[in-house]
Structure 1
């Protein structure tokens, strides 16, 4: 029986065997630590979540090349049903009870965010000279901004780290935000930028005036392997405290495969990538030509 209370839900996107397995671990966490809260999952194989009473699962057919921007569909569904949705990457874990009285202001509340220009300048300054791919990324983000008549280097544009954030309704601005995100997602993907949806999210939010704010979310005790490693390195966390989460994630992400299985997996990913890239370029080109715009790769 699905939970029916509360003004917020959790949601994620989980496709492929690895991420479905990780999402099932997250579903167990939420069932334990946030009982009565709906967990919306968009996935390529809903049957794997049929035994979780807190999960509302939807089958999703991939729209992009890789899966990173697909989370927008889960968020859209969640906001059609709840005032707020807490988006968690499928590989995040919840480690303690979640408060039931959390309230979120309209817009996006991110566990980690900064101005777009500060984030990009930080990437540039990591090496001397800057890596060519980082310079290329910076130029592409500025080009994405110009597509929306925005200055990506303005302090009004935010980069959002996408592993944990909350989206709350704002008198319809959330719908416009999702529409602009979709435009930028398609533009980025046909130009070879498939990952890091936080760039498109920040630009889309700025375009429609959808507020973005930072919140450390002290009430949500979570595990993210990248963040936990940083905390351990800085002496802010006991290396043993969340070792079980590291071990579970490592086991799921690194299954024991034979050499033929590894070869088949690599070949499958290669074929799958180019199939979806060509499909997206063709369908997007046809769509934009229908609207008198053929500059999807410009």
Structure 2
């Protein structure tokens, strides 16, 4: 029995036109350097990708209260419903070298990882008390949890456990968002993975991808006009109030 598989795909999110255009550039890179492999794009205008032969485009709207970072889980779930392995790659990334055509089989998640407490203390110490309270609710020893870099991640659906991981991610992400932590989904991924008993990994194929992926971080340069900013504020308050109400169904977890 072979220890590698070709049954994998890429996936990403692309909300709003600038990110859809960047996702198309990424798809073009993959068509050249990973011919025959698909990229699944969750986005708000699937017609933009109608001429992209290697794209599986589906409609998705923002669920995250302020940002869409935790919405990555929907694209990953979509990808893992079709393939054994999903490689999540931020839309504002370029690829300029050939991609490995086979991936070593694994269980769990791969990515840049480090100790979650040390990372949070260094970069966002203001978040640590909330994260510690959440870990206590989940009966997790926080000192054993890893933080994951978010721009390039590899997920496996071995043993059909991905649905549970995505469910964990959603619950943890909502708790953090309702407590004002809207970014740094690497915390959420680390906690959700630990709940699954997954150990962080780095196979040679992931190391190769990480080496050749050039992440631009367009969030620092993409600007919204006045109408877009108003829509964002209105959307934020709508989603915040909606999630507050839905969280009442599990009052002890979210508010206790």
TM over 0.5: yes
Task: Check 1:223–1:51 CA distance in 2 against 1; reply closer, same or farther (3 A cut).
Answer: same
Assess if the C-alpha contact under 8 Å between 1:75 and 1:87 holds in 2.
yes
Residue 118 of structure 2 is aligned to residue 118 of structure 1: yes
The corresponding residue for 2:102 is 101
Give the alignment of 1:246-285 within 5 angstroms. 253=221, 265-266=225-226, 268-269=228-229, 271-285=230-244
Assess if the C-alpha contact under 8 Å between 1:12 and 1:87 holds in 2.
yes
Q: TM-score with structure 2 length normalisation?
A: 0.88
The corresponding residue for 2:254 is 296
The corresponding residue for 1:21 is 21
Give the alignment of 1:90-239 within 5 angstroms. 90-110=91-111, 112-123=112-123, 134-152=124-142, 154-155=143-144, 157-215=145-203, 217-220=206-209, 221-225=212-216
The corresponding residue for 1:78 is 79
The corresponding residue for 2:62 is 62
Assess if the C-alpha contact under 8 Å between 1:29 and 1:93 holds in 2.
yes
Quote the RMSD (CA, aligned, Å): 2.4
Give, in angstroms, the shift of residue 215 of structure 1.
Answer: 4.4
Q: Which structure's CA Rg is the greater one?
A: 1
Task: Check 1:116–1:204 CA distance in 2 against 1; reply closer, same or farther (3 A cut).
Answer: same
**Count of residue pairs the alignment pairs up:** 248
Gaps of 5+ in 2: none
The corresponding residue for 1:88 is 89
Give, in angstroms, the shift of residue 297 of structure 1.
Answer: 5.1
1-side partners of 2:234 and 2:18: how far apart?
21
Give, in angstroms, the shift of residue 47 of structure 1.
Answer: 1.1
Give, in angstroms, the shift of residue 292 of structure 1.
Answer: 5.1
2-side partners of 1:87 and 1:209: how far apart?
21
Residue 251 of structure 2 is aligned to residue 286 of structure 1: no
